[in-house]
Chain A
Amino acid sequence: MATIRKEGRQSSVRARFRRGAMGLAAAVVLVAARAPALAGVGESTQSASGNVTNQALLEKLDAMERRVKLLEGELKRKNSSADGKLQAQSASDSKPVTDKSANKAKKAQDQTKAAPNDAHQDDAHQTPSAAATAADVGQPATPAKPAAATKPGEKAIFGLVDSPVAGLSIGAYGEIQFGEMQNPAAGGQWQLGSDPARRFVLLPTYDITDNIIFNAEIEFEHAGTGFDNDDKLHGTAEIEQLWVDFKIADQFNWRAPGIDLVPIGYINQHHEPTEFYSVFRPELYNGLIPSTWKAPSTSAYGTVADGVRYQVMLSAAQEDFGDAYDCRTDANTVPLGSGTTPCTAGGAAYFPGIDGLNALTFSNPPLGDFRQLSNSLAVSGRLDFMEPASLPGLAWSLSGYYTPNTTPRGAHGDLGNLLGQSSLAMFDAEFRYRVPQSGLELRGEGVYVTFGNPANLRANNDTDPTDNVGKHMYGASGEVAYHLPLGTILHSEWEAVPFYRYTYEDLQTGGFAGTDVNAPTGAGQLQFHNVGVAVFPSPNLVLKATYQRVINRAPGGAQSDSALGGLGFFF
Chain B
Amino acid sequence: MTEWIRWTAPAAVVISVSAPAYAVQYLSVEEAQALAFPSAHFSEIQAGHVWKASTGGIFVIDHVIGKHLYIDFAVALEGGHVRRVDILAYRESYGGEIRSPSWLAQFVGKTGASPLKVGDDIRNISGATLSSLHVTDGVKKILAQYGNLR
Interface positions of A (Cβ within 8 A of B): 94-97, 99, 101-106, 108-110, 112, 115, 117-118, 120, 135, 139-140, 142-143, 146, 148, 151-156, 159, 169, 171, 203, 205, 207, 210-211, 213, 215, 245, 247-253, 255, 266, 269-270, 274-275, 301-303, 306-307, 309, 384, 386-387, 389, 392-393, 395, 432, 434, 436-437, 439, 483, 485, 493, 495, 539
Cβ contacts under 8 Å, A495 to chain B: 119
Closest B residue by C-beta to A269: B94
Considering the chains assembled together, what is the distance between the CA atoms of A198 and B126 in angstroms? Answer: 24
Other-chain residue from B62, B102, B127, B137 in contact with A392 (beta carbon distance below 8 A): B102
Identity of the chain B residue whose Cβ is nearest the Cβ of A141 in the assembled complex: B46
Bound-state Cα–Cα, A448 to B3, Å: 32
Whose C-beta in chain A lies nearest to the C-beta of B124?
A: A434
Check if A247 sits within 8 Å of B23, measured CB to CB.
yes
- Please name 14 pairs of A and B residues whose Cβ atoms are closer than 8 Å in the assembled complex, sorted by A: A109-B49, A115-B25, A117-B21, A118-B30, A156-B68, A207-B69, A210-B24, A251-B19, A307-B100, A386-B97, A386-B125, A392-B103, A432-B127, A483-B119
| In the bound complex, CA of A146 to CA of B145 (Å) | 9
Besides the known contacts A96-B43, A115-B22, A169-B69, 8 further A-B residue pairs in the complex with CB atoms under 8 A apart = A94-B43, A115-B25, A140-B46, A143-B49, A205-B69, A247-B24, A432-B127, A434-B119
Report Cα–Cα, A238/B28, bound state, in Å. 41
Report the minimum CB–CB distance from A101 to chain B (whole Å): 7
With A249-B16, A539-B130 known to touch, is A171 a contact of B67 (CB < 8 Å)? yes
Find out whether the CB atom of B124 lies under 8 angstroms from the CB atom of A211.
Answer: no
Q: Which of A103, A210, A248, A439 contacts B48 (CB 8 A)?
A: A103
Determine whether the beta carbon of B48 is less than 8 Å from that of A109.
yes
**B 31-64 contacts with A by CB, 8 A:** 41-44, 46-49, 51, 61-64
B138 within 8 Å of A (CB atoms): yes
CB pair A250–B19 under 8 Å, yes or no, is: yes
- Tell me if B113 counts as interface (CB < 8 A to partner A): no
Q: For residue A98, which residue of chain B has the nearest CB?
A: B30
Within the complex, what minimum Cβ distance (angstroms) separates B103 from chain A? 6
A95 to B129, CA, bound (A): 40
Q: Does B96 contact A (CB under 8 A)?
A: yes
Q: Check if B101 is an interface residue, CB within 8 A of chain A.
A: yes
Residues in B whose Cβ lies below 8 Å from that of A248: 16, 19, 23
Closest to A433 in B: B126
Contact check, B23 vs A539: say whether CB atoms are below 8 A apart.
no
**A151 pairs with B137, CB closer than 8 A:** yes
Using A97-B43, A249-B15, A250-B23 as known contacts, say yes or no to A153 and B137 having CB atoms under 8 A apart.
Answer: yes
Inter-chain contact B102/A389, CB cutoff 8 Å: yes
Cα distance, A120 to B49, chains bound together (Å): 19
Q: Which of the residues B29, B41, B121 comes within 8 Å of A102, measured between beta carbons?
A: B29
Q: Which residues of B contact A112 (CB under 8 A)?
A: 63, 70
A205 x B68 contact (CB < 8 A) = yes
Q: How far is the CA of A255 from the CA of B94 in the complex (A)?
A: 13
Q: Which residues of A contact B42 (CB under 8 A)?
A: 96-97
Residues of A within 8 A of B103 (CB): 387, 392
Closest CB-CB distance, B34 to chain A, in whole Å? 11
Report chain B residues within 8 Å CB of A302: 23
Q: Enumerate B101-142 residues with CB–CB distance to A below 8 Å.
A: 101-103, 117, 119-121, 123-127, 129-130, 133-134, 137-138, 141-142
Pairwise interchain contact A106-B48, C-beta atoms closer than 8 A? yes
Are B29 and A103 in contact, with the CB atoms below 8 A?
yes
Measured CA separation A126–B43 after assembly (Å): 23
Residue of A nearest to B121 (CB): A437
Across the interface, do A118 and B25 meet the contact criterion of CB distance under 8 Å?
Answer: yes
Once A115-B24, A169-B65, A249-B15 are accepted as A-B contacts, the answer to whether A102 and B48 lie under 8 Å apart by CB is yes
The answer to the question of B89 belonging to the interface, with a C-beta cut-off of 8 Å to chain A, is yes
Contact of A135 among B48, B65, B70, B141 (CB under 8 A): B48
Q: Does B93 contact A (CB under 8 A)?
A: yes
- With beta carbons under 8 angstroms apart, the residue of B23, B94, B125 that contacts A211 is B23
How far apart sit A211 and B16, CA to CA, in the bound complex (Å)? 15
Q: Is the CB of B102 within 8 A of A110?
A: no
> B125 contacts A387, CB within 8 Å?
yes
Please determine whether B100 and A387 come into contact, CB atoms closer than 8 angstroms. Answer: yes
Nearest Cβ in chain A — how far from B74, in angstroms? 11
Tell whether A432 pairs with B126 under 8 Å between CB atoms, given A153-B137, A171-B68.
yes
- Complex: how many Å from CA A323 to CA B101? 50
Contact A207 B22 (CB under 8 A): no
A241 to chain B, nearest CB (A): 11
Does chain A have a CB within 8 A of B10?
no
User: Smallest CB-CB separation from A138: which chain B residue?
Assistant: B47
By the criterion CB–CB under 8 Å, are A270 and B127 in contact?
yes
Q: What's the least CB distance linking A423 to chain B, in Å?
A: 19
Give, as a whole number of angstroms, the nearest-CB distance from B86 to chain A. Answer: 15
B119 touches A395 (CB 8 A): no
A155 to B123, CA, bound (A): 24
Residues of B within 8 A of A483 (CB): 119
Determine how close the nearest CB of chain B comes to the CB of A537; give it in whole angstroms.
14
Cβ–Cβ contact A94 & B96, under 8 A = no
Answer whether A94 and B29 are a contact pair too, CB < 8 Å, given A153-B138, A169-B65.
no
Q: Are A306 and B100 neighbours in the complex by a CB distance under 8 Å?
A: yes
Interface contact B91-A110, CB-CB below 8 Å: no
CB distance from B93 to the nearest CB of A (A): 6
How far in angstroms is the closest Cβ of chain B from A534? 13
- A252: chain B residues within 8 A (beta carbon): 15-16, 19, 23
Closest Cβ of chain B to A530, distance in Å, is 18
Asked if B141 contacts A146 (CB within 8 A), the reply is yes
Chain A proximity of B118: nearest CB distance (Å) = 8
